[in-house]
Structure 1
Amino acid sequence: MNSEFSTYVLPNGIRGVHRQVKGSVAHCALVIGAGSRDEHPDEYGLAHFTEHAFFKGTARRRAWQVNCRLENLGGELNAFTTKEDTTIHATTLRGDFRKAAELIADIAFRSTFPERELEREKEVIVDEINTYKDSPSEMIYDTFEDLLFAGSELGHNILGRKAALMRYDGRAIRSFISRTHTTDQMVFSSIGNFSARTAEAVAMRCFADHPASARGYERVAPGPGARFDKTVSRHTHQTHCILGGRACGIQDERRLPLALVTNILGGPCANSLLNVEVREKHGLTYNIEASYTPYAETGIVTIYFSSDHGHAEECISLIEAQLDRLRTAPLSARRLSMAKKQFIAQLAISGESNESYMLGAGKSLVTHDGMDTMQEVYAKVRSLTASDLMEVAAETFSDLSRLIYK
């Protein structure tokens, strides 16, 4: 393990990771390696519903006491669900770290899921689903991923559908938790101005009395998928489009060159190839971006833009020209050096957020039982060559699928 973090393992198999930093604020999280891809077909949306249900009361606290415990101290408690994990996280003053850890353990292990509260929360999630459906720029991503991973564990929406949601009750949640929220898939991650020994002692007190458990099933990697080109009529004011395809997974050594080339293509900076070409030079779009999301054994790369209906095909042509250049022409030494410096600076700036750093460490430990120091990541970025980027671009950005909302 690297020197930036200290790690430990509790007797029940829950792993812990801590980093000591200066400051008066502490962050901590329980990262559980269970998300929407662990749902059975009759459970779609249940992982997300479970995350909401955690806040509805425990054997020790009613719902309002859960929600006010840290907020009354000026802290924050929240949670989120992805396709592969569920995270409960808190931010407090350093002196309230023990209270935050105890609250996370209480809701993760002693939630009671009262039916009246669950019925009320279903309406909240229905509103969340409706809000999401009103945003085509967000909904198109999930539709695209559903098509890309059709028939696999990764090929369904995290939020689920209203009709299925209405069927779920406390028994369904407890069954899902029993199967998927096992201690061998849990990491308690923390960062703050206190020692690793203190962090481990708090974790031992709050989490160690939960019985040990192990996952009794294996996730199934998605099978091969066919390229698609689909247009959906949604009567939007603009055309929304995604070009994309499958990509390498989180364990793959090509992940870093792909992340760099995607950043060059359509990252958040104004000098990305697509922003310069499609927005600045031609004025065809307000929003264009490229992204790469790795999963355990696969990943997804996307290019998204919105434009007036009459400009969509021109945008696609300009995008394909940039992709062809990345696949066939190596970056100049100067352009590659600038791209590396930009990427490293972005990583360093994001690392200044202790909360993000803490969440990333927990996720990394759940996913592949280890993590690189930032200096190790920087060194790997600096070692990448123009050929590395051209090779991964040729592998990833050829024969992309297309989804259009119009």
Structure 2
Amino acid sequence: MEFYTYRLPNGIRGIHRQVKNTVAHCALVINAGSRDEQADQFGLAHFTEHAFFKGTQRRRAWQVNCRLENLGGELNAFTTKEDTTIHATTLRGDFAKAAELIADIAFRSTFPDRELEREKEVIVDEINTYKDSPADMIYDTFEDMLFAGSELGHNILGRKAALMRYDGEAIRRFIARTHTTDQMVFSSIGNFSPKTAQSVAARYFGEQPATVRGFRRAAPGAYAPFEKTVVRHTHQTHCILGSRACGIGEERRLPLALLTNLLGGPSANSLLNVVVREKNGLSYNIEASYTPYGDTGIVAIYFSSDHGNAEQCLALIEEQLRRLRSTPLTARRLSMAKKQFIAQLAISSESNESYMLSAGKSLLTHDDVDTMEQVYAKIQALTATQLTEVAEEVFTDMSRLIYR
């Protein structure tokens, strides 16, 4: 069995995969992100993630940061729109130490005001760095417009003025409302038995009292496609074309993921890279992405180019989208696309850390995890007609945002 799953009495779920490796990875995946912030809390989920490292009832900030590093391991965290993840990498023999440390900062952080004030300056610098990068900022601006009026709309970092208002009490209220045990998964991968993994999880996470989430996420309202140009006096034109797409639990997710990979995935032979960059030399960076959320998603095509080349890039992109909407792939092209996608997934699964994180997220979202063989079989079963139908649905009337 590829995965072993379990549930602690307090509702925290666990998943483990045993592999032959000297390195172990583990993570606490919490189903709480910037989408769960209230109107006066924008940026608080991300600030909470930073605050976890500022000291606990048992450790000062420097002890948190050095606990695993002194052993040659790593401790880190990240926040998305829908989840917060604390993860660690250690040698196999230090797995229990990593689990204990994650539990300590997740459940016993003290959020001292002095440390929080210092960390605010770090996040301000992060916000400033982000504002200096139009390639990053345009994504958040686009998503804000695409999900206008929804909790999915605002960016994860928040604004400086709001950040300065937050204190330890604000963090504790946010955690009490969103970081409930029924919305947590402890994921692990390493060369030790599932029984060991569950025993360690029970020792360090099982003593936490059971809590249940008291709210449901609101689905985003309807939207109309838009076109907007923003003058930012950038050296290049930056552009995003995109639209809303299917959520993480929908059957159309897999054909859309395959389509997006074919259109503008990481390979040099993606349709957009070939026609825009290789054949015409119009853009150094062009890519397509699909990000699924719990009840919706976003498909986006991004490129940057010299100002005089932007319109030609857009015309070439629109032509590729038209073809995908109107002409089913040939059997040979479909077979190649499937083989490439499966190979990319297989290679990415060679990273045990990435595999561990995706398994935890899958269990959190679906309460189940497909094996890689099951995923490959689903990809192989996709038809050209399915891809054309999804392309017609998603790649029609796409919105457009341009920075000049």
TM-score grouping bracket, smaller chain normalisation: over 0.9
SS at match of 1:70: helix
Q: Which residue of 1 aligns with 2:96?
A: 98
2:114 pairs with 1:116 = yes
Q: Which runs of 4+ in 1 moved over 6 A?
A: none
State how far apart, in whole Å, the 2-side matches of 1:360 and 1:11 are. 24
SS at match of 2:316: helix
CA shift at 1:226, angstroms? 1.4
State how far apart, in whole Å, the 2-side matches of 1:374 and 1:165 are. 41
- 12, 23, 30: which one aligns with 2:10: 12
Q: Which residue of 1 aligns with 2:145?
A: 147
Report 1:109-258 matches (<5 A): 109-258=107-256
State how far apart, in whole Å, the 2-side matches of 1:151 and 1:28 are. 36
- 265, 268, 271: which one aligns with 2:266: 268
Measured against aligned partners, the alpha-carbon deviations of 1:47-89 in whole angstroms (never above 9, x if no partner) come to: 0000000000000000000000000000000000000000000
Q: Which amino acid aligns with 2:9?
A: P
Gaps of 5+ in 2: none
State how far apart, in whole Å, the 2-side matches of 1:369 and 1:43 are. 29
CA shift at 1:368, angstroms? 1.3
- 72, 79, 82: which one aligns with 2:80: 82
Q: Which amino acid aligns with 1:167?
A: R
Moved more, 320-329 or 364-373: 364-373
Q: Which residue of 2 aligns with 1:312?
A: 310
Q: Which amino acid aligns with 1:64?
A: W
State the identity %.
81
State how far apart, in whole Å, the 2-side matches of 1:201 and 1:398 are. 51
State how far apart, in whole Å, the 2-side matches of 1:371 and 1:244 are. 29
SS at match of 1:91: strand
Q: Which amino acid aligns with 2:126?
A: E
State how far apart, in whole Å, the 2-side matches of 1:150 and 1:65 are. 42
State how far apart, in whole Å, the 2-side matches of 1:228 and 1:39 are. 26
SS at match of 1:90: strand
State how far apart, in whole Å, the 1-side matches of 2:130 and 2:16 are. 35
Q: Which residue of 2 aligns with 1:371?
A: 369
Gaps of 5+ in 1: none
CA shift at 1:277, angstroms? 0.3
State how far apart, in whole Å, the 2-side matches of 1:282 and 1:200 are. 55
Q: Which residue of 2 aligns with 1:21?
A: 19
CA shift at 1:371, angstroms? 1.1
CA shift at 1:276, angstroms? 0.4
SS at match of 1:166: helix
Q: Which amino acid aligns with 2:396?
A: S
State how far apart, in whole Å, the 2-side matches of 1:312 and 1:53 are. 42
Q: Which amino acid aligns with 1:238?
A: Q
CA shift at 1:320, angstroms? 0.1
Q: Which residue of 2 aligns with 1:293?
A: 291
Measured against aligned partners, the alpha-carbon deviations of 1:350-399 in whole angstroms (never above 9, x if no partner) come to: 00000000000110111111111000000000011110111100000000
RMSD: 0.4
SS at match of 2:254: helix
State how far apart, in whole Å, the 1-side matches of 2:224 and 2:51 are. 37
Q: Which amino acid aligns with 1:234?
A: R
State how far apart, in whole Å, the 1-side matches of 2:238 and 2:40 are. 31
State how far apart, in whole Å, the 2-side matches of 1:232 and 1:116 are. 39
2:397 pairs with 1:395 = no
Q: Which residue of 2 aligns with 1:107?
A: 105
Q: Which amino acid aligns with 2:24?
A: A
Q: Which residue of 1 aligns with 2:30?
A: 32
SS at match of 2:234: coil
SS at match of 1:8: strand
